[in-house]
Amino acid sequence: MAELVRLARQDDVAVITIDNPPVNALSPGVPEGIEAALKQAVADTRVRAIVLIGAGSTFIAGADIREFGKIVSGERPRLTLLPFLLTIEDSPKPVVMAIHGQAFGGGLEVAMAGHYRVLAPKAQVGQPEVKLGIIPGAGGTQRLPRLAGVPKALEMCAAGDPVKAQDAVALGIADKIVEGDFLAGAIAFARAVAGKPPSKTRERDEKLPGVPAAVFAAAREQARKQARGLRAPLAAIDAVEAATKLDFFAGCEEEARLFNQCLFSTEARAMIHVFFGERAVAKIPGISKEVKPFEIRRAAVIGAGTMGGGIAMNYANAGIPVIVKETKQEALDRGLGIIRGNYAKTVAKGKLSQAAMDQRMALLTPRLTYDGFEQADIVVEAAFENMALKKRIFAELDKVAKPGAILATNTSTLDIDEIASATSRPTMVVGTHFFSPANVMKLLEVVRGKATSPAVIAIAMALGKRLGKVAVLAGNCHGFIGNRMVAPYFREAQFLLEEGASVEAVNQSLYEFGMAMGPLAVDDLAGLDIGWAIRKERATHLKPGVRVPLVVDKLCEQGRFGQKTGRGWSKYDENRRASSDPEVAALIERVSRAAGIERREISNQEIVDRCVYALVNEGARVLEDGIALRAVDIDITYIYGYGFAAWRGGPMFYADTVGLPKVLARIEEFEKKHGKDLWAPAPLLKQLVAEGKTFKDFDKRKEAPG
Ligand code: T1G
């Protein structure tokens, strides 16, 4: 087994190198290796100081997250890194932590147990544990406030965002930034502090006293707002507060208690599922890492509307020159104006410099013709959702785009193969489905047509990462993964209205369940006219005699398109704040009575079950049809594209936590009440229940070779 930790000596400085690729996680054997090397260095009389550094691209990315499942299942003992960290802190010779890449979680905790920290210019430090549904568990909530002060430690532990090198030095977390040859600089620094009595972070209490209670109250308020439904940020605040009330060791005990409370929670399991899921979706069976995608250097976008404009911003944000084409000057001006406005808002918030905004705007080239398209490596069509229009555009692109260019469509529902049939290069046609607002939403659904080549898939997936998106591969069917599943979700939300639930009850129930917004609020945000156009396009596909929602088309006929018209399912004031609309409630009652639908009291639980299990049942069919590769692909799609709470893990993971037998029983109940056409359980769901398996087992089976 490769050596996880190496010890070397450069004259009077010992260098301990952690070499546990890919991110030097504190996997079993790493803390032990560091401790052994440290003891050796301390015992070596030639050594006056010690440097700890990571091999490869980073310092330490934290504890080994893969081990957490084994701790929760009892296979491994609970995390006890404290004694190991005390060994470092109590070293009689100064230990200098040389941090390049990331010192995250346990990585920063190791660093803070050292006596000095030097950083490479691009290094980052942070306690991202809350993003895994846990809190720092190795003294981070006790040592960080001693270095950075309580308010900053609260922010870093409760939000989990990293801090850049310059800020880390300014905050007192680190001592110096080393330019140039990093190891040589760290050794020189160690040599300079050798002989000085090492200062122990745990004894530096000067920044702890005098923090008003209001600081903690404000942090809790913010955590409740920003991380709704998540326990971990509040636990992190409790732990940092404990540092101001208890001595170091008692504080560590309180931290450990809170840490284990979080670790053994469903939230943490869900968030860890999402962490690895986000990485798993990038792996496409059959497309080996050998397929080397060519790099996209130039792009072009058809359409400067809401989607086209947002898509173009993604390319400019990634430093890729992009042409934006419209049919009329007025539409082009409006589109570019919205882009400029979006950037200006970000600059005003201090999240982007004016120089960066100017740079990005300079990468955008507005056009009314196809001039310049022959240089584009990828062309993205973001025109109106109409098949005839898209085919006309693709036929034109086939003529103007260079031979090796990728032709991508942002369609959210239409048949990729039919669009590709308008070209002579269907192997180069792919769906790149962005989500509105395209410059904000993290999900990119990459849709594979039957002719799309593996290289084009690999390029589109890699491009997703480059544009700061999480790319998920979907097969070609109506609505792909996300929109295919959301149709029954919206259907049930509307049926529940007809059966007696109010718009507010439906929205609030799903909001409390953890969705970013209720289904009818999402409909009003996206615009009811979008769905109306799709329903008209799909009318011929409807199965006769199957129940369909009765109210939404009537709202559209009245021009109620949602926020954009100030009224939809709800009414909206000039600040787009929603309020209930008695006219809609009356319309719903009238329509359902006319249809002879029985109206009754409906519980929040039934609202949640009908909507979420409609997702799960269709999700199982999406897996059966191979439209999604794995259940986790569906979870990632829903978390990054549809506002499904990450702490629920996504619809398929959630179903596993409820227990598939219980989910199936509830679906069969709905089938009995509402009929087979709407609620026949997916065969895969029945099969997994029969085998006593879960969707997670389904994915494992998928991963298993052969
Ligand atoms: N443990 C195990 N595997 C990890 C890992 C970790 N901490 N971090 C990354 N990996 C795997 C990852 O799954 C992927 O595997 C590969 O490494 C490359 O990662 C005690 C309790 C460091 C910024 O939350 O944020 O410490 O897919 O694709 O884009 O208080 O990884 O190749 O098989 O993300 O260059 C806290 C998590 C842990 C940091 C690098 N630490 N990692 O990003 O590569 S809890 C974190 C990251 C803890 C203590 C507590 C990122 C990165 P595979 P990658 P990247």
Average confidence score pLDDT of the chain: 96
Handedness of CA 193, 197, 202, 205 (dihedral sign): negative
Mutate to test the pocket of ligand 1, among 4, 18, 23 (most ligand atoms within 8 A of CB): 23
Of residues 267 and 3, the one with the higher pLDDT is 267
Q: What is the token pair recorded at 301?
A: 């976008």
Handedness of CA 501, 502, 503, 508 (dihedral sign): negative
- Other C-beta atoms closer than 10 Å to the C-beta of 546 total 10
Q: What's the confidence (pLDDT) of residue 670?
A: 98
- Other C-beta atoms closer than 10 Å to the C-beta of 319 total 11
**Residue range 600-650, pLDDT digits in tens:** 999 999 999 999 999 999 999 999 999 999 999 999 999 999 999 999 999
Active site residue 109: yes
**Mean pLDDT throughout 42-64?**
98
CA of 130 to the centre of ligand 1 (A): 14
Active site residue 129: yes
Mutate to test the pocket of ligand 1, among 4, 59, 65, 99 (most ligand atoms within 8 A of CB): 65
For ligand 1, say whether the CB of 66 is within 6 Å of any of its atoms.
yes
Q: What's the confidence (pLDDT) of residue 79?
A: 79
Pair 582, 590: CB distance under 8 Å: no
Q: What's the confidence (pLDDT) of residue 530?
A: 86
**Residue range 64-82, pLDDT digits in tens:** 999 999 999 988 888 789 9
CA of 254 to the centre of ligand 1 (A): 26
Q: What's the confidence (pLDDT) of residue 294?
A: 78
31/85 Cα distance (integer angstroms): 9
pLDDT higher than threshold 70 for residue 100: yes
Task: Tell me which residue has its CA closest to atom 15 in ligand 1.
Answer: 279
Task: Tell me which residue has its CA closest to atom 43 in ligand 1.
Answer: 23
Q: What's the confidence (pLDDT) of residue 323?
A: 98
pLDDT higher than threshold 80 for residue 127: yes
Which residues pair with residue 295 across a beta bridge? none
Please report the atom of ligand 1 found closest to the CA of residue 280: 27
CA of 23 to the centre of ligand 1 (A): 6
**Mean pLDDT throughout 439-460?**
96
CA of 7 to the centre of ligand 1 (A): 24
Residue ranges in 67-123 assigned as alpha helix (H) = 68-72, 82-89, 106-113
533/535 Cα distance (integer angstroms): 6
Q: What is the token pair recorded at 262?
A: 């979080």
For ligand 1, say whether the CB of 61 is within 6 Å of any of its atoms.
yes
**Mean pLDDT throughout 512-541?**
90
Rounded percentage of the chain residues whose pLDDT exceeds 90: 91
**Residue range 293-342, pLDDT digits in tens:** 678 999 999 999 999 999 999 999 999 999 999 999 999 999 999 999 99
Task: Tell me which residue has its CA closest to atom 13 in ligand 1.
Answer: 276
Q: How confident is the model at residue 290 (pLDDT cuts 50, 70, 90)?
A: low
pLDDT higher than threshold 60 for residue 556: yes
For ligand 1, say whether the CB of 25 is within 6 Å of any of its atoms.
yes
Q: How confident is the model at residue 288 (pLDDT cuts 50, 70, 90)?
A: low
**Mean pLDDT throughout 369-398?**
96
Q: What's the confidence (pLDDT) of residue 289?
A: 60
678/681 Cα distance (integer angstroms): 9
For ligand 1, say whether the CB of 104 is within 6 Å of any of its atoms.
yes
Q: List, as one string, the DSSP characters of 226-237.
A: HTTT-SHHHHHH
β 578-579/571-572 pair status: antiparallel
Q: What's the confidence (pLDDT) of residue 235?
A: 98
For ligand 1, say whether the CB of 137 is within 6 Å of any of its atoms.
yes
Q: What's the confidence (pLDDT) of residue 533?
A: 85
CA of 105 to the centre of ligand 1 (A): 10
Q: What's the confidence (pLDDT) of residue 264?
A: 96
pLDDT higher than threshold 80 for residue 705: no
Largest Cα–Cα separation, the chain: 93
CA of 90 to the centre of ligand 1 (A): 28
Q: How confident is the model at residue 542 (pLDDT cuts 50, 70, 90)?
A: confident
**Residue range 657-702, pLDDT digits in tens:** 999 999 999 999 999 999 999 999 999 999 999 999 999 999 998 7
Q: How confident is the model at residue 52 (pLDDT cuts 50, 70, 90)?
A: very high
pLDDT higher than threshold 80 for residue 126: yes
Task: Tell me which residue has its CA closest to atom 49 in ligand 1.
Answer: 106
Residue ranges in 196-349 assigned as alpha helix (H) = 213-226, 232-245, 248-263, 266-280, 306-317, 329-348
Q: What is the token pair recorded at 163?
A: 């801090």
Q: What's the confidence (pLDDT) of residue 1?
A: 56
Catalytic residue among 109, 326, 492, 498: 109
Rounded percentage of the chain residues whose pLDDT exceeds 70: 98
**Mean pLDDT throughout 134-140?**
98
Q: How confident is the model at residue 468 (pLDDT cuts 50, 70, 90)?
A: very high
Q: What is the token pair recorded at 15?
A: 């260098």
CA of 61 to the centre of ligand 1 (A): 6
